[in-house]
Amino acid sequence: MSTLERAFSTFVSSFIGAILLSGAFNTKAADVALFAAASAALAVVTAAIRSLTPPAGGTSTDEKILDVVTRVGLTLVQTFTAAFVTNTAGATHFSDWRAGALAGLAAVVTALKGTGVIKLLGGTGATPASLLRISGS
């Protein structure tokens, strides 16, 4: 369930960033959705790889901040890779700087989400990476 939530979150972050830049980049809605879907698919792959050696899952504020930083970094890599893959496949037309801008904006949305979760749900067992509660918390 957590993987689905993370994939959805990555899709939303990527989609928001791409929609915000679609006018400036002259990008069609279908290209935006394809880019966001590719980002979400990479989030599923990343979650599967990370599940092989799951993090400690601590609940202290420092561990949650580290989780936000990790999520932001992963979002940056996933969305840049998704922009590169969709561009290489000929489905979209993102130059390197546009791919970087899309990835950066998606990472900002992820950082805002994670920070908001820490502030709003700090002691409830939710993590910045996933709004789902950790079982046993």
pLDDT at 136: 46
* pLDDT on residue 137: 43
pLDDT digits (tens, 9 = 90+) for 110-125: 888 888 877 776 655 5
At 47-64, the pLDDT tens digits run 888 777 666 555 566 777
29 and 22 Cβ atoms separated by less than 8 Å: yes
Q: Tokens representing 73?
A: 């970094």
Closest CA to 2 of 46, 62, 59: 46
Give residue 5's pLDDT: 80
Q: Assess whether pLDDT exceeds 70 at residue 131.
A: no
Question: How many other C-beta atoms are found inside a 10 Å radius of the C-beta of residue 45?
Answer: 13
DSSP state of 134: P
User: Of all residues in the chain, what percent carry a pLDDT higher than 70?
Assistant: 79
80-90 average pLDDT score: 83
Number of helices (H), then strands (E), belonging to the chain: the values are 4, 0
Please give the Cα distance from 84 to 75 (Å, whole number): 14
CB of 89 closer than 8 Å to CB of 132: no
pLDDT for res 133: 53
**Average pLDDT rounded to a whole number, residues 1-27:** 83
Interatomic CA distance for residues 103 and 120, integer angstroms? 25
Per-residue model confidence (pLDDT) at position 68? 80
What does the alpha-carbon distance between residue 106 and residue 101 come to, in Å, rounded to a whole number?
A: 9
Q: 17 with 79: CB under 8 angstroms?
A: yes
pLDDT digits (tens, 9 = 90+) for 17-45: 888 888 888 888 888 888 889 999 998 88
Q: Bigger pLDDT: 137 or 95?
A: 95
